Structure 1
Amino acid sequence: MKDTDFRLYGLEPADEHTADLYDSTWVSDFKTISQHDVGERSFIVAFDASATWGYPNMPNLASFDVVRDSSQATFSMRRSEHATFAFAQNWLVNRGCPPDKLAPIVDVPKPADELTIQVEDRIRNSGERLEIVDYQVIDGDDTEGWSIAVDRQDKDLPVRLFIEELQPDPYTYTVREGAFADHAAAESWLEDRSTPLPEAPEYRVDAEALRKHAALARTTSLPPMPSPAPAAPAAHLNTSKSLGRSL
């Protein structure tokens, strides 16, 4: 990964928030994962290398929205921390970055299966539907990041737990989403993990559709084949040999 270049040479912070944020941002600690530039604006997802020696289980991904004003020689900066890549993308998408412009530009783990792609796509394009209330990164023998969010559009199971797990060999990862009635239930599952992650209703629809499709395929009969025409007598054929048909 390359060091993140915010392109701020000769520029001063445009406001107090930007000044405080930039003073607390050690530029050399950040390595760019994805970046999209539009004129003087940069949308960046970066890995925070300092997270490995910071306080335990701190998030190691950061999203930056940097706007430069060369005419005023100033810049403004906004930043958000995340435990998983899709939520880092979501934050930038909500600030105006096209979702298809945030693909990784470095060698990173690949999604392990179609469900991971589906869950990440839901996160990335969820707008402000999912409100993060807690997150954590576990880095050790098991590498994992999880985020607890509130789904503003679900009244029955509003608390969602998103878990990202890395498989070093092969270099892939999975993301799963569980649904809970409240925050306490999600935390209890995280501590215990003796049962499968409760399935989120968004994916039950797809699973049911697949089951119905499979059942339909099993019960649908093929059109009847035409009966073969009676064979003409052929006494001269060697009847000790059988004719085989490959279907």
Structure 2
Amino acid sequence: MTVLAEHHIASAHDPMLTESFLVVHDGTMTYDIPGSNQLAAIHVRRDFRKGTFHLDYQRTPITAFAQRWLIERGADPNHVPLTAPGLPTTDQVSRELEERLARSGNRFEIRNSYTCDLILDPAHGTDAYPSSFQDLVYDFNTWIIATDQYPAPGHPPVRVFFEDVDYPNHMYTLREGGFPDLDSAYEWTRRAGEPDNPLPPVPPIPLAPHARSDAARASSPTARAAGSSVSAAAAPPVTRRPERHPRLW
């Protein structure tokens, strides 16, 4: 496990009650079921007086949705940024989208996702040595299909969020596209990231208050129920190559 973000607080009314909020990357998930979420949000509540603790977690496809899950459970949005050293860089468009998703409350319901972390060696034959680092092809990306629970007039009800990692240059981008239905979104993912398959543009979504997130922050850190899990719907099969390697995020 690699900790990407962490925040620890104590109750203003009782210092014996504490909470921790963490975003972690689980590198072992690369050897799990292909496409599995490799990130997780972890929320720990402790009562030192009773000597007890409660741990809850949610696996997520990208860091923004991990941060969203923690914010919904009372984490201060300003205190859960990614702080681990050596993180890949990104552009302003990606940062703004991550910020909107982290603070989106229960607006987007994740229907499905897939994380690809393949390292391909096109020049490697059965009798040849593996290619050099520069000749390898890194197919690192994640797509997420989500439905908008509060679609604005004229906005598509289905979104695809696509994170594309440029591993050799230690960079990534996050983009979104709008679709009229789940079928068309799934169809796009079959050729996700290919140059002739761009995401359909969608107007940016303004931040809006969400009662569930506000209520969680108001009751933090002690009077909060256990978090709900994100639902996922069955999806058509997506053909992927079998070779899998650590993403080293």
Q: What TM-score range do you get, normalising by the shorter chain?
A: 0.5 to 0.7
SS of 1:116 mapped into structure 2? helix
Please name the residue that 1:3 is paired with: none
For structure 1, the residue ranges without an aligned partner over 5 or more in a row are 1-29, 204-247
Distance across 2 between alignment mates of 1:90 and 1:180: 23
Structural mapping, 1:136-175, within 5 Å: 136-140=114-118, 141-154=138-151, 156-175=155-174
Following superposition, the deviation at residue 199 of structure 1 comes to 0.8
Distance across 2 between alignment mates of 1:165 and 1:192: 13
Counting aligned pairs with the same residue, the percent is 32
Letter in 2 for 1:37: H
- Provide, for residues 113-151 of structure 1, a one-character-per-residue CA deviation record: whole Å limited to 9, x for no partner: 221112111101111111111111100131111211111
For structure 2, the residue ranges without an aligned partner over 5 or more in a row are 11-17, 119-137, 206-249
Structural mapping, 1:99-138, within 5 Å: 99-106=77-84, 107-111=86-90, 113-138=91-116
Please name the residue that 2:198 is paired with: 196
Answer whether contact 2:39 2:59 (CA < 8 A) is retained.
Answer: yes
1:59 to 2:69 alignment: no
Distance across 2 between alignment mates of 1:139 and 1:170: 15
Following superposition, the deviation at residue 94 of structure 1 comes to 1.2
Following superposition, the deviation at residue 88 of structure 1 comes to 0.8
SS of 2:161 mapped into structure 1? strand
Please name the residue that 1:180 is paired with: 179
Letter in 1 for 2:32: G
Following superposition, the deviation at residue 67 of structure 1 comes to 0.2
Answer whether contact 1:84 1:146 (CA < 8 A) is retained.
Answer: no
Q: Give the structure-2-normalised TM-score.
A: 0.66
Letter in 1 for 2:88: P
Alignment root-mean-square deviation, CA:
1.5
SS of 1:198 mapped into structure 2? coil
Distance across 1 between alignment mates of 2:167 and 2:36: 21
SS of 1:132 mapped into structure 2? strand
Q: Give the structure-1-normalised TM-score.
A: 0.67
Answer whether contact 1:129 1:152 (CA < 8 A) is retained.
Answer: yes
Following superposition, the deviation at residue 173 of structure 1 comes to 0.7
Distance across 1 between alignment mates of 2:106 and 2:117: 28
SS of 1:153 mapped into structure 2? coil
Distance across 2 between alignment mates of 1:196 and 1:165: 12
Answer whether contact 2:89 2:170 (CA < 8 A) is retained.
Answer: yes
Answer whether contact 2:43 2:55 (CA < 8 A) is retained.
Answer: yes
Q: In the comparison of the two structures, how many residue pairs are matched?
A: 173
Structure of larger gyration radius: 1
Following superposition, the deviation at residue 195 of structure 1 comes to 3.0
